[in-house]
Amino acid sequence: MQSSHLLLEEPIRMVSILDPSKPSFFPAMTKIVGTLGPKSRSVDVISDCLKAGMSVARFDFSWGDPEYHQHTLENLKAAIKATKKLCSVMLDTVGAELQVVNKSEKPISLEVDSQVVLTPHKGQEASSQILPINFDGLAKSVKKGDTIFVGQYLFTGSESTSVWLQVAEVKEQDVICTIKNSATLAGSLFTLHASQVHIDLPTLSEKDKEVIRTWGVKNKIDFLSLSYTRHAEDVRQAREFLSKLGDLSQTQIFAKIENAEGLTHFDEILQEADGIILSRGNLGIDLPPEKVFFFQKSALRKCNMAGKPAVLTRVVDSMTDNLRPTRAEATDVANAVLDGSDAILLGAETLRGLYPVETITTVGRICFEAEKVFNQDLYFKKIVRYVGEPMSHLESIASSAVRAAIKVKASVIICFTSSGRAARLIAKYRPTMPVLSVVIPQLKTDQLQWRFSGAFEDQLPTHLWESLFTASARQSLIVRGLFPMLADPRHPAESTSATNESILKLALDHGKASGIIKSHDRVVVCQKVGDASVVKIIELED
């Protein structure tokens, strides 16, 4: 442990997510978001998840209190320190989620063709006849014939753990439903989803705001997953809220699309958000099964063209209880990669699943195989055509770097950046080789001590080494093919040629130690020299 001012006196250093002890560190360029919970919150399990390929940790506040999640986060920090593998933090809000509370936690058996009443009287005990819910406006929102789904955490479609209800009658604040399949609901909390029905609840609830103001600010979160985003205004309001919380001004907002209403306004939401999460749990219920694939492919393509990260959920549900995915799930993961996903988000599979580490490993291997057959040439042409002419200066440099790397069969692209924008633009063109983003942190001084600007600032004398990574570095951990390194902040990327060569040598040494760069390989470097941006090709010697 060293204080920040002592660290600055050391020779130029870099820290990275590369692990020199494992030459095959890059199992895939598609990133994996893991939800931490009961089965994945110990230091040992989190360490194994990081080693398996998890680069973003998701904290789902639809269950568990802040103290519970704080303990998990402290374990994550310990695991990061032990493994020297970076991981960013995502806070997932509750939003306009309807929930059934089962205080007794006794299993509830529901029989087909029987009736059950959904009531806002939360004080009642849940039973086979009555399910108390957290929303008193359901009776005003639904009508006879509407479909409602109830399941643990998220509706899975399994007839044994989730139930399909049809509204038979609305009586004052109660909604009387006919049960369409027999099921047993187990646990303390169930999610309720009314298909294609507008729910008059705020996207960012007061409870969400309080969690962000306290837990989010304290931990300087990298990403806010905005559940049930339905309009661009939802994102704008969340952005305004974050901007008033100084430490979270750089936090990225990922709009979580969970229903038909969000899809209807997808284009405007995409313009406002930093990234998109296609939450197929609820989305797959709102849409007819035969339409799901179309909206998935369309949404992913729009994200790709805009150069904004796209995250896909619910791909290996069966691995919650099984060591291997089904053949259909394995194909689903591969198709997500081929369709252009930046990351795969694992929910119940790592939260409460029996095999969190094995699930991350399996998904990573499938992604790796799919990336081998990804048609980069066709993708590149589509992006260039979409961007059009004249290109912006940065866009031109990014596309040229990728084109050059592919033409000379470079093993890696190295990009010097401070904001991360240039590196993200390069990754937008989906090069077939990894992009090592050499992040140059900006420094501020208060005359007492040096400190790094960006989220996760930590001015404690003995802060954790991973806290030094700027927001732009950690936020690249959700972008496909982008892997950050941190250069010595005393040497900005546009400084002297000698300094640039020194930093470049360290980046190359990292690549060699990781097994992604070998003797006689070609490397493409993108950097600023004065006011100009330069793309150069280096052929390595022995």
Q: What are phi and psi of 67, to 5 degrees?
A: -65, -40
- The Cα–Cα gap between 365 and 434 comes to 16
Determine the pLDDT at residue 24.
45
Range in 84-93, 401-410, 444-453 with the lowest mean pLDDT: 444-453
Residue whose token pair is 């399941």: 151
- The answer to whether residues 484 and 31 touch, using CB atoms and an 8 Å cutoff, is no
Q: What are phi and psi of 139, to 5 degrees?
A: -60, -30
Residue 457: helix, strand or coil by DSSP? coil
For the segment 267-280, what is each residue's pLDDT rounded down to a tens digit? Answer: 999 999 999 999 98
The more confident residue out of 153 and 475 is 475
Q: Mean pLDDT across the stretch 104-118?
A: 92
Cα–Cα–Cα angle for 101, 104, 105, nearest 5°? 75
Six-digit token string for 478: 């959700």
pTM of the predicted structure, to 2 decimals: 0.87
Residue 511: helix, strand or coil by DSSP? helix
Q: How confident is the model at residue 97 (pLDDT cuts 50, 70, 90)?
A: confident
Q: How confident is the model at residue 362 (pLDDT cuts 50, 70, 90)?
A: very high
pLDDT higher than threshold 90 for residue 67? yes
For residue 280, the one-letter residue type is: R
The domain 99-195 belongs to what CATH superfamily? PK beta-barrel domain-like (2.40.33.10)
Determine the pLDDT at residue 349.
93
For the segment 467-509, what is each residue's pLDDT rounded down to a tens digit? Answer: 445 777 889 999 999 998 766 554 444 445 555 677 788 788 8
Q: How confident is the model at residue 448 (pLDDT cuts 50, 70, 90)?
A: very low
Determine the pLDDT at residue 504.
83
Q: How far apart are the first and last CA of the chain?
A: 36
- The Cα–Cα gap between 507 and 523 comes to 11
Q: Mean pLDDT across the stretch 393-421?
A: 91
For residue 518, the one-letter residue type is: K
Q: How confident is the model at residue 530 (pLDDT cuts 50, 70, 90)?
A: low
Which among 118, 104, 81, 115 is positioned nearest to 1, based on CA atoms? 81
CA 262 to chain centre: 18
Residue 249: helix, strand or coil by DSSP? coil
pLDDT higher than threshold 80 for residue 431? yes
Q: Mean pLDDT across the stretch 283-293?
A: 87
- The answer to whether residues 115 and 168 touch, using CB atoms and an 8 Å cutoff, is yes
The enclosing H or E element of 344 equals strand 343-346
CATH fold label, 376-540: Pyruvate Kinase; Chain: A, domain 1 (3.40.1380)
Determine the pLDDT at residue 284.
82
For residue 239, the one-letter residue type is: R
Count the Cβ atoms, other than its own, within 10 Å of residue 38: 12
Six-digit token string for 169: 């009658």
The more confident residue out of 30 and 195 is 30
- The Cα–Cα gap between 243 and 158 comes to 42
Determine the pLDDT at residue 459.
32
DSSP code of 204? S
Crossing angle between the packed helical segments 289-306 and 376-387, to the nearest 10 degrees: 70
> Do strands 275-278 and 310-313 pair parallel, antiparallel, or not at all (unpaired)?
parallel
CA 214 to chain centre: 21
- The Cα–Cα gap between 70 and 379 comes to 41
DSSP code of 363? H
For the segment 46-66, what is each residue's pLDDT rounded down to a tens digit? Answer: 999 999 999 999 999 988 899
Print burial letters for 446-466: b (CB count within 10 Å at least 16), e (below 16). Answer: eeeebbbebbbbeeeeebeeb
Which among 279, 294, 300 is positioned nearest to 374, based on CA atoms? 300
For residue 521, the one-letter residue type is: D
Count the Cβ atoms, other than its own, within 10 Å of residue 5: 13
For the segment 112-128, what is each residue's pLDDT rounded down to a tens digit? Answer: 999 999 999 877 889 99
Q: Mean pLDDT across the stretch 233-247?
A: 94
Which among 157, 234, 237, 145 is positioned nearest to 197, based on CA atoms? 145
The domain ranges of the chain are 30-96+202-373, 99-195, 376-540
15 by Cβ neighbours in 10 Å (0-12 / 13-18 / 19+) ranks as middle
Six-digit token string for 35: 């939800």
Determine the pLDDT at residue 466.
40
Determine the pLDDT at residue 63.
86
Determine the pLDDT at residue 187.
78
Q: Mean pLDDT across the stretch 29-50?
A: 96
The more confident residue out of 217 and 86 is 217
Determine the pLDDT at residue 403.
94
Q: How confident is the model at residue 309 (pLDDT cuts 50, 70, 90)?
A: very high
Q: How confident is the model at residue 13 (pLDDT cuts 50, 70, 90)?
A: very low
Q: What are phi and psi of 440, to 5 degrees?
A: -100, 105
Determine the pLDDT at residue 25.
47
For the segment 450-467, what is each residue's pLDDT rounded down to a tens digit? Answer: 333 333 333 323 333 344
The string of DSSP letters for 157-183 reads --TTTEEEEEEEEEETTEEEEEE-S-E
CATH fold label, 30-96+202-373: TIM Barrel (3.20.20)
For residue 226, the one-letter residue type is: L
Determine the pLDDT at residue 59.
98
- The Cα–Cα gap between 156 and 314 comes to 9
Total length of the chain: 542
- Taking each continuous run of H as one helix and of E as one strand, the counts in the chain are 19, 25
Which among 252, 344, 241 is positioned nearest to 300, based on CA atoms? 344
Using omega within 30 degrees of 0 as the cis cutoff, is the peptide bond preceding 309 cis? no
Determine the pLDDT at residue 156.
56
The enclosing H or E element of 210 equals helix 206-211
Q: Mean pLDDT across the stretch 199-219?
A: 94
HSE-up of 217 (CA within 13 Å, CB side)?
14
- The Cα–Cα gap between 127 and 104 comes to 10
- The Cα–Cα gap between 429 and 399 comes to 7
